[in-house]
Structure 1
Amino acid sequence: MLTIDLERLKLEDGNRVLDLGCGRGRHTHALYWQDTPLHVTGLDLSETDIMATANGFFDLPPPPASPDRSGTLAAGDAHRLPFRSESFDAVICSEVLEHVGNPDRVIREIDRITKPGGRVALSVPRYWPEWICWKLSEGYRNTPGGHVRIFRHDQLHAAALRAGLRKTGHHWAHALHSPYWWLQCALWDIREDHGLIRAYRRFLEWDLLKAPPLTRGLETMLNPVMGKSLVMYFVKPV
């Protein structure tokens, strides 16, 4: 399940791309296996997630060999990225900034390591669906390693502008996931055992695997209204 629209990054053969806060590697793997050969780096604070991303490289046959295709993984802190300035053609930071202590510093680091003319994609939970989650459950917002802030659209945009990035577009994603998280929060203490939540999870897994036109079309229509994630795209001026 991808949150970032990779086509908006306008990637070319041999580009260097960083998936910052890669988690278990959904965007890292998608970048590595796409037709355009890229030098992909995944970085996360969690060594456990880095190992899961590494294992995911063996789930599918390798893509066509190319000197312009490689994959690298590292554990590190988004506040102090271990990369030289202007070393990436594109940077993805998906569902990370709501977790970090100083998002402005992280975005400044993203700007620092992005080449002039390079592309940046940032995604965070959308304000009002996330606000409902916070109101429904103290456990949701107080989970260790969980979300420590909610971003408004203009707040994320302003933080990127302060770092020197210029916005090129935005969209919303994962509308069908918003009710799932509202259910989880409303039934937080019994969420693991509740039949309705398990049934909704099975529905989302089925939708992910089968991608039927009906639900894909429904989510496309609902995303502007109740998309769970806000996704913004930027360019670093030359």
Structure 2
Amino acid sequence: MLTVDFERLGLKPGDRVIDMGCGAGRHAFEMYRRGADVIAFDQDADELANVLELFGAMKEAGEVPEGASADIKEGDALALPFADGEFDRVVASEVLEHIPADIQAIEELVRVLRPGGTMAVTVPRWLPEIICWKLSEDYHNTPGGHIRIYSDKELIGKLQNAGMVFEGIDYAHGLHSPYWWLKCAVGVKNDDHPLVKAYHQVLVWDIMKTPRYSVATRLAEKALNPLIGKSMVLYLRKPESA
């Protein structure tokens, strides 16, 4: 389940890219499949070990083009262990809402991006997120959980203040917002609730099936994304003169 549109990001084979806060690695895997030189970066060593194992499995299975490379790096988002301008593309998906010092994290992302390079930043969208917060304290009041809700104006402003040029906005995962509202209403950890289980099965089916088998759900999500898409996706470019 991808949140970032890599065509819009401008990703090309051979690009050096960082997936900052990669988690389970979904975006890192896709960039590797597209022939990039990928660094999956996170502070969770266990997650990174799984990502590295899957990188190896992808290579063994012949899922990546010749010349593509991928590796992991554990570290702190506030002090990225990379040189200035090292990356052609930067992805930070569903990360900044967890970081208290978000401005410092943004400055680090901008620092390691080369002049002329592009960045995709995704966070939970304001309206779906605030509904979740209103419905459930447990949704966000957990260690390492969401500590803020961004408006588009706020996050765009912070990225522009760090030197980035805003190029566009998109929304994703419209089918997921009602799922999370339902979970928040019945209890975030109540995965055995029949309605939650049923909705989850629909989401899994939609992700696993090829587009020709899931036309209805794909069309529904496309219609819902501008209205209640769970994620806000920002696309930005670092000026050549930076």
Shared topology, TM-score over 0.5? yes
What are the superposed Cα offsets for residues 77-129 of structure 1, whole Å, 9 maximum, x if unpaired?
Answer: 11110100000000000000000111111111011000000000000000010
SS class of match (1:106)? helix
Partner of 2:149: 150
Unmatched segments (≥5 aa) in structure 2: none
Q: Does the C-alpha gap of structure 1 residues 70 and 181 become closer, same or farther in structure 2, counting only changes over 3 Å?
A: same
Give the conservation status (yes or no) of the 8 Å contact 2:39–2:70. Answer: yes
Give the conservation status (yes or no) of the 8 Å contact 2:32–2:64. Answer: no
The whole-number CA distance in structure 1 between the counterparts of 2:4 and 2:64 is: 24
Partner of 1:214: 216
SS class of match (1:237)? coil
Give the conservation status (yes or no) of the 8 Å contact 2:177–2:230. Answer: yes
Give the conservation status (yes or no) of the 8 Å contact 2:115–2:239. Answer: yes
Shift of 1:59: 4.7
Partner of 2:54: 56
1:224 to 223, 226, 232: 226
Q: Does the C-alpha gap of structure 1 residues 86 and 185 become closer, same or farther in structure 2, counting only changes over 3 Å?
A: same
- What is the TM-score when the length of structure 1 is the normalising length? 0.95
What are the superposed Cα offsets for residues 10-68 of structure 1, whole Å, 9 maximum, x if unpaired?
Answer: 1233110100000010000011012xx2111100111111112122224541335533x
Alignment of 1:64-75 (within 5 A): 66-67=66-67, 69-75=68-74
**1:87 aligned partner, one-letter code:** E
- What is the TM-score when the length of structure 2 is the normalising length? 0.94
Q: Does 1:5 align with 2:32?
A: no
What are the superposed Cα offsets for residues 139-182 of structure 1, whole Å, 9 maximum, x if unpaired?
Answer: 11112111011000101100000100001111000000001100
SS class of match (1:144)? coil
Partner of 2:45: 47
Q: Report which stretch shifted further, 117-126 or 72-81.
A: 72-81
SS class of match (1:55)? helix
Partner of 1:121: 120
The whole-number CA distance in structure 2 between the counterparts of 1:189 and 1:178 is: 13
The whole-number CA distance in structure 2 between the counterparts of 1:11 and 1:47 is: 27
The whole-number CA distance in structure 2 between the counterparts of 1:44 and 1:176 is: 27
**2:85 aligned partner, one-letter code:** E
**1:230 aligned partner, one-letter code:** M
SS class of match (2:166)? strand
The whole-number CA distance in structure 1 between the counterparts of 2:136 and 2:202 is: 23
